[in-house]
Chain A
């Protein structure tokens, strides 16, 4: 077949019925700071890994609330845990532990 260079765009539909409350509660019990994030994106702005590949804690948080946990893991897999995000977070979130907790909770199927 001739390749015209067009592909299907993956669905961007958000289905909040898929939100896994149990896993989210598990995440909260591991790192209570998850509740206080205000999605300012400072973490993403300073991210070391973000300079090379797409890495964003802000998006990962949003993806978790939108029940797209695979995307969340994708946004964090390049993280080097350097801790710059923790230094700039205006809410004082323990971002390194948050990232590790997200990976721990959502990477087990």
Chain B
């Protein structure tokens, strides 16, 4: 190998590349330069406004996160995987992943390699004052190859540039094809582009073919490789010796300029804002407002790709396409209040769009924030919650509800609480809290509102507890209060806080160390918002699975074919996928649904939606049921009272008379 010093010396004498235009400028670069300057100033101003809008504590948190090694590593990994390689799309839809990464990674490499070439061969031109902004982009226009002085190094870069150009062109070809037949790439519905989207889209389609055209026209002067040189020969064959290449470079520059000028108003803004959003997301900074501060980075990070269209359970009906997250975010960008609210209220909050989003845009949480701007101010009066928490003291009232717990003496300290005359104390709800015998190592079972409407769940859960010999206390045997999650979902955040406080008091006073919940809606909020110190919050699927593993609960294996439905709040909401399946595998043959784990389809009964009516809900239930019945199971098992009820109704109302399937709760199957 030739020593580096020798190469440099040789170059000084006989340069490989000749900077053919001394001024380093040609008028054709103007459209590109103006477009890109406009885009960068737009982004600069936006960035400053955004950082000014987030609270100071969040700003400090964000700045710190950039220097914490663990977060920094995750940042680097996410930036490469999400922005350049699009691994999340690859995993689900390989062809689509190829398309996206071809354009993103290919373009990135072309820009980087262009700069490396300039740095190696004409380093002076990297200076912004001497054309550093556009020179690396139009490098091939500004240079001549010195014939007879080409080196392997130069040829290597020519090859790489042509290779990545071809790579991008293949991606663009797929993208154009996708516009007409998206289903081939795995997308049933695609987003309807807005005007700015169209301008940017068509210029993006043209940029790379035009680049090929421009570079191939000059390939005999400025060099090329396996792609540009043969095309160049073809042009010579077609047009003769003298090629008139200026129009191609003008067209290329105009397309680039148009693209960058349209970028801030189009979906392609995500190319840059995605970076900011990933950094903010990894720093753990959360939006407090649906439109301002962090949320702004989030909504501009949406690439409008439309993967959420196919994900959304509402879209079994075409009329509901307009309520998808992608359009929600589009209208948020446009400040279209009326449409924003209509879309925000319709959503089932099943979180599937968030789970499948390649950029991790949390549209459901933005919707909740949007609902809060409207609904948080609605009047309510929960003063009764504070009184019910303290009333159940008079020993005589304890009797009925706590018959099973009678051995325990009521705590004396509570006796001074006055009994308000107008409220009927619901002793049962508060009583267990006061009468826990040893106050340690206790399991507290909280059924929640929904479970009380499906008493078969309570019955079977209690049966499990008795069979396994679990010493438990039933917190709301005679009815309790809501967990607060439905209020949260409806945007009544302050009201939810009042309910949470009342429940928290009850649980903390109970002295339990494990809280078992049979409703995923309760489970999610108990886990995330209650901050119960020293109390383990588990869903009953997890608790029962532990009982089975430790051998306390014997299970009988049957040959029934079971299918498990992942409730939204349990699966995507809390990440509990494994435990229920592990337990069910011991009870029968677990077959697959056509969509499961984080792709599971909401049952349609979700409390998340405010305005979706019964008819639309039943359509969703049908779709979800179809997915579950894909492998002819005999029993549908679910772990949510709402899903249980919805599916029971869906099965009995189903038009398909042939289906012979029972719907059962998890606990019923484990302990029949």
Which residues of A are in contact with B by a Cβ distance under 8 Å?
Answer: 31-33, 46, 48-49, 51-53, 73, 77-84, 86-88, 92, 94, 96-97, 100, 103-104, 107
Are A87 and B482 in contact, CB atoms less than 8 angstroms apart? Answer: no
State whether A100 touches B449 (Cβ < 8 A): no
What are 24 A-B pairs with beta-carbon distances under 8 A? A48-B481, A49-B481, A52-B384, A52-B481, A53-B422, A53-B423, A77-B379, A78-B382, A81-B482, A81-B492, A82-B449, A84-B449, A84-B453, A86-B607, A87-B642, A94-B614, A96-B607, A97-B345, A97-B610, A97-B611, A100-B375, A100-B378, A100-B610, A107-B379
Interface residue from A33, A88, A100 paired with B490 (Cβ < 8 Å): A100
B661 within 8 A of A: no
Q: How far is the CA of A53 from the CA of B423 in the complex (A)?
A: 6
- The reply to whether the CB of B499 lies closer than 8 angstroms to some CB of chain A is yes
User: Are A82 and B486 in contact, CB atoms less than 8 angstroms apart?
Assistant: yes
CB < 8 Å neighbour of B487 from A33, A81, A107: A81
Q: Which 8 A-B pairs have the closest CB atoms?
A: A92-B614, A82-B482, A80-B482, A82-B449, A77-B381, A83-B607, A53-B384, A52-B384
Find out whether the CB atom of A52 lies under 8 angstroms from the CB atom of B613: no
B612 within 8 A of A: yes
B302 to chain A, nearest CB (A): 27
B 602-646 binary contact with A (CB < 8 Å = 1; else 0): 000101001111100000000000000000000000000010010
Among B385, B480, B482, residue most surrounded by chain A Cβ atoms (within 10 Å): B482
The residue of chain B having its C-beta at the shortest distance from the C-beta of A33 within the complex is B613
| Residue among B450, B453, B481 making CB contact with A80, cutoff 8 Å | B481
Q: How far is the CB of B478 from chain A (nearest CB, A)?
A: 8
- Contact B610–A78 (Cβ < 8 Å): no
Are B384 and A78 in contact (CB-based, < 8 A)?
yes
Which of B385, B453, B486 meets A81, CB within 8 Å?
A: B486
A83 near B378 with CB under 8 A, answer no
Q: A33-B613, A79-B380, A81-B492 are in contact. List 18 more A-B contacts (CB 8 A).
A: A46-B453, A48-B479, A49-B481, A52-B385, A52-B481, A53-B422, A53-B423, A73-B379, A77-B379, A77-B380, A80-B481, A80-B484, A82-B482, A83-B449, A87-B605, A94-B611, A94-B614, A96-B490
Nearest CB in chain B: distance from A26 CB, A: 15
- The answer to whether A103 and B379 touch across the interface, beta carbons within 8 angstroms, is yes
A103–B345 CA distance with the chains assembled, in angstroms: 16
Count A/B pairs, Cβ under 8 Å.
89
Cβ–Cβ contact B450 & A83, under 8 A: yes
Determine the chain B residues whose CB is within 8 A of the CB of A48 once the complex forms.
Answer: 449, 479-482
Q: Which residues on the A side are within 8 Å of B487 (C-beta)?
A: 80-81
Tell me if B100 is interfacial: C-beta within 8 Å of chain A: no
Docked-complex contact A87 and B486, CB < 8 angstroms = no
A94 to B487, CA, bound (A): 15
Contact (Cβ within 8 A) B380 A96: no
> In this assembly, does B549 line the interface, its C-beta being within 8 Å of a C-beta of chain A?
no
Tell me if B457 counts as interface (CB < 8 A to partner A).
no
Is chain A's binding surface mostly helix, strand, loop or mixed? Answer: helix
Cross-chain contact B486 with A51 (CB below 8 angstroms): no
B426 at the interface (CB under 8 A from A): yes
CB pair B490–A107 under 8 Å, yes or no, is: no
Partner of A87, one of B422, B612, B645: B645
Docked pose: A87 CA to B7 CA in angstroms: 80
Query: Which B residues are in CB contact (< 8 Å) with A81?
Result: 482, 486-487, 490, 492, 495
**Complex Cα spacing A50 to B6, Å:** 90
Alpha-carbon distance A100/B482, docked complex (angstroms): 17
Give the complex CA separation of A82 and B490 in angstroms.
Answer: 10
Flag if A107 contacts B479 (CB, 8 Å). Answer: no
CB distance from A24 to the nearest CB of B (A): 18
Partner of A83, one of B345, B479, B486: B486
Q: How far is the CA of A46 from the CA of B454 in the complex (A)?
A: 12
Q: By the criterion CB–CB under 8 Å, are A84 and B611 in contact?
A: no
User: Closest Cβ of chain B: how far from A73's Cβ, in Å?
Assistant: 7
Q: Is B53 an interface position by the 8 A CB rule?
A: no
List which B378-402 residues lie within 8 A (CB) of chain A.
Answer: 378-382, 384-385, 388
- Asked if B424 is at the interface of the complex by the 8 Å CB criterion, the answer is yes
Cα distance A86–B642 when bound, in Å?
A: 11
Q: Which residues of A contact B480 (CB under 8 A)?
A: 48
Please, which residue of chain B has its CB at the minimum distance from the CB of A79?
A: B380
- Measured CA separation A83–B449 after assembly (Å): 8
Residues A84 and B450 in contact, CB atoms below 8 Å apart: yes
The answer to whether B492 and A52 have CB atoms under 8 Å apart is: no
The answer to whether residues A52 and B423 also contact, given A94-B611, A97-B610 and a CB cut-off of 8 A, is yes
A32 contacts across to B, CB distance below 8 A = 613
Name the contact of B380 in the complex, choosing from A52, A78, A84 (C-beta under 8 A). A78
Nearest A residue (CB) for B452: A84
Closest partner residue, chain A, to B642 (CB atom): A87
What chain A residues lie within 8 Å of B482 (beta carbons)? 48, 80-82
Q: Which residues of A contact B479 (CB under 8 A)?
A: 48, 51
Residues in A neighbouring B453, C-beta threshold 8 A:
46, 84, 87-88
Task: List residues of chain B with CB within 8 A of the CB of A82.
Answer: 449-450, 482, 486
* B449: chain A residues within 8 A (beta carbon): 48, 82-84
Q: Are A87 and B610 in contact (CB under 8 A)?
A: no
In the bound complex, do residue B450 and residue A94 qualify as a contact, i.e. CB atoms below 8 Å apart?
no
CA of A97 to CA of B490, assembled, Å: 9
Q: Mark B483-494, 1 if CB is under 8 A from A, else 0.
A: 010110010100
CB distance from A27 to the nearest CB of B (A): 13
Q: Please report the C-alpha to C-alpha distance between residue A81 and residue B382 in the assembled complex, in whole angstroms.
A: 12
Return chain A residues, CB-CB under 8 Å to B645.
87
Residue of A nearest to B381 (CB): A77
Q: What residue in chain B is nearest A32 (Cβ atoms)?
A: B613
Docked-complex contact A51 and B424, CB < 8 angstroms: yes
Cβ 8 A contact of B610, one of A46, A96, A107:
A96
Contacts of B378 in A (CB 8 A): 100, 103-104, 107
Q: Smallest CB-CB separation from A89: which chain B residue?
A: B614
Q: For A51, what are the chain B residues with a Cβ–Cβ distance below 8 Å?
A: 424, 426, 479
